[in-house]
Structure 1
Amino acid sequence: MTTVAERQGITFKGGAVTLQGNVVNVGDTAPDFTVLANNLTPVTLADSKGTVRIISVVPSVDTGVCDAQTRRFNEEAANLGDVTILTVSVDLPFAQGRWCAAAGIDKVQTVSDHRDLSFGLNYGVVIKELRLLARSVFVIDKNDKVTYVEYVSEVTNHPNYEAAIEAAKAAL
């Protein structure tokens, strides 16, 4: 049986929660993952190789902060050029697709980690108690090096959008 790394350090609505998976740090080679697109096709890190990636992680697109986070990165995408933006959650692909259509999201690709938590475990963002992903943002350069990491300390708070966007611009 495989042991999954666990750590404390973030809260959800003020209560401590346990994060599962491997911590990712600036300078690391970005871990691979397999998630599902809204049409159920697999999406991996290699699919966007050669571009700068912003990976925006949210617990569920159907909540206020997650909605705002995904919309903000969708708006910023127009000014970023050759940047791929993924929003990862454990929402079902069908729900993500429905939400994107209703919200007019057309520059950010929503992907689902519901099947086996491949992204969540490889990036250390699985909330053990809820089987949701913790709010976080990762920027990965064209050579798969992690250039920015934010694990948001309170899951219901917004990430530092400006810092993530500046990191993406610096990686271009």
Structure 2
Amino acid sequence: MAKVTFQQDPVTLLGQEIKEGDQAPNFTVLSNDLKEVNLNDYKGKVKLISTVPSLDTGVCSEETKRFNEEASKLENVQILTISMDLPYAQTRWCAANGIKNLDTLSDTGMQN
């Protein structure tokens, strides 16, 4: 198992590690129209789930823009980008960056 570090110091992660091939656990987040959404709402599609702290940070912004670009080339694949941004901030960011091929979802205030 690879060690996780933050600024070169070891970090202890809580919870059960998800391994390749494991089924993703269900979760509940908010859509940009403030509706609760869970993983089962995307049943029947291949899902690529990207989690980022905030869309308004450089690396997270570039990553999400790239996923949006690549999503336009995929069939029956739904890309979900989950961040701690409020849905209003996600809507603003998506409009400013032309994001139309993936769903941004908010993990703020949700109890999973």
Same fold (TM over 0.5): yes
Is 2:32 the partner of 1:38? yes
Match of 1:52 among 46, 54, 57: 46
Give the RMSD, CA atoms, in angstroms.
Answer: 1.8
Aligned length: 111
Counterpart of 1:28 in structure 2 is 22
Residue 20 of structure 1: how far off its partner (Å): 3.3
Task: List alignment gaps of at least 5 residues for structure 2.
Answer: none
Match of 1:109 among 92, 97, 103: 103
- C-alpha distance 71-114 of structure 1, shift in aligned 2 (>3 A): same
Letter in 2 for 1:10: V
Higher strand fraction: Structure 1 or Structure 2? 1
Residue 17 of structure 1: how far off its partner (Å): 4.1
- C-alpha distance 93-18 of structure 1, shift in aligned 2 (>3 A): farther
Residue 27 of structure 1: how far off its partner (Å): 1.8
The secondary structure found in structure 2 opposite 1:88 is strand
Counterpart of 1:61 in structure 2 is 55
Residue 10 of structure 1: how far off its partner (Å): 2.9
The secondary structure found in structure 1 opposite 2:110 is coil
- C-alpha distance 45-60 of structure 1, shift in aligned 2 (>3 A): same
Letter in 2 for 1:82: N
Residue 116 of structure 1: how far off its partner (Å): 3.0
1:58-137 aligned within 5 A: 58-116=52-110, 118=112
Residue 12 of structure 1: how far off its partner (Å): 4.2
Residue 14 of structure 1: how far off its partner (Å): 4.7
1: CA distance, partners of 2:56 / 2:10:
23
TM-score normalized by the length of structure 2: 0.88
Provide, for residues 99-136 of structure 1, a one-character-per-residue CA deviation record: whole Å limited to 9, x for no partner: 11111100111001111363xxxxxxxxxxxxxxxxxx
Provide, for residues 53-72 of structure 1, a one-character-per-residue CA deviation record: whole Å limited to 9, x for no partner: 00011111000000011001
Q: Which runs of 4+ in 1 moved over 6 A?
A: none
Q: Which moved more, 1:79-88 or 1:109-118?
A: 109-118
- C-alpha distance 92-39 of structure 1, shift in aligned 2 (>3 A): same
2: CA distance, partners of 1:12 / 1:117:
26
